[in-house]
A = this chain, B = another copy of it.
Amino acid sequence: MTDAVPDLPASLAVLGLLANCELAAFSRLAADAERAPDLAERIELARLGGEALARLERVAVRVAELDADLEQAVQPFLGTFGEFDERTPAGTWWERLLKAYVGYGVEEDLVRLLAHTVDAETRELVLDLLADDRHSALVVRALTTATDSDAVLASRLALWGRRLVGEALGVVQRVLVANPQLRALLEPALPDGDCVQQRLFAVLTGEHTRRMARLGLTA
């Protein structure tokens, strides 16, 4: 375990970033649950919030195996995506759903890329945790049902999606500026090219386009 010392900070940084995503996801899903227009959706969102916590606990177990504690790992990233939340106040229930889908999607993609550069056990855990698609499935189901019969809503949400991804990418940029070690970790995980940020944004934008397509919306 101690042989892995040079690897430790990288693994811990990625786990800390993921833990912060899960804490933020928990708060967001819990708030969404409270505002859900019907009870079935409320219960489902609350359950998804519980799943985010369950993922946080699995992150905590791995952090402990690396001889650190969860608070220590999360602290540097705390509130990282809070700025995204503040800059994009959602007006309607549909906007809220799309915001969680786009915002959490970009966060996940970033963590997934970073995971490729850390120790195998941490990588496996992170990729396994990020494979949970239930929240996306709920959003896709709810939004496609709503937009199928409402072209005006669809075009408004497409516009909102563009605003959201712009803000999310801005936050990612600031995270990388504030954490040069993450920037260095990303380098080998990205396709060839000149500038890390440009290559990263190409990947993140591609994933965003794929997610919007799942909703039948133009990115």
Residues on A facing B (Cβ under 8 Å)? 23, 26-27, 30-31, 33-34, 39-40, 42-43, 46-47, 49-50, 53-54, 56-57, 70-71, 74-75, 78
Contacts and interface: CB of A to CB of B under 8 A. Distances in A.
A26 to B, nearest CB: 6
A45 to B, nearest CB: 10
Given A27-B31, A27-B33, A39-B75, 11 more contacts: A26-B33, A26-B46, A27-B30, A30-B31, A31-B31, A39-B74, A40-B71, A43-B56, A43-B71, A46-B56, A47-B53
Nearest to A71: B39
5 contacts: A23-B46, A26-B46, A27-B34, A43-B71, A43-B74
B49 A23 contact: no
A31 to B, nearest CB: 7
A40 B57 CA distance: 14
Oligomer copy total: 2
A34 B42 CA distance: 19
Contacts of A42: 23
Contacts of A40: 71
A215 B75 CA distance: 30
A33 B25 CA distance: 12
Contact of A43 (B31, B46, B70): B70
The residue in A23, A31, A34 that gathers the most chain B C-beta atoms within 10 A of its C-beta is A34
A99 to B, nearest CB: 16
Nearest to A75: B39
**Closest 7 A-B residue pairs measured CB to CB?**
A30-B30, A50-B53, A27-B34, A39-B71, A50-B50, A26-B46, A40-B71
A48 to B, nearest CB: 10
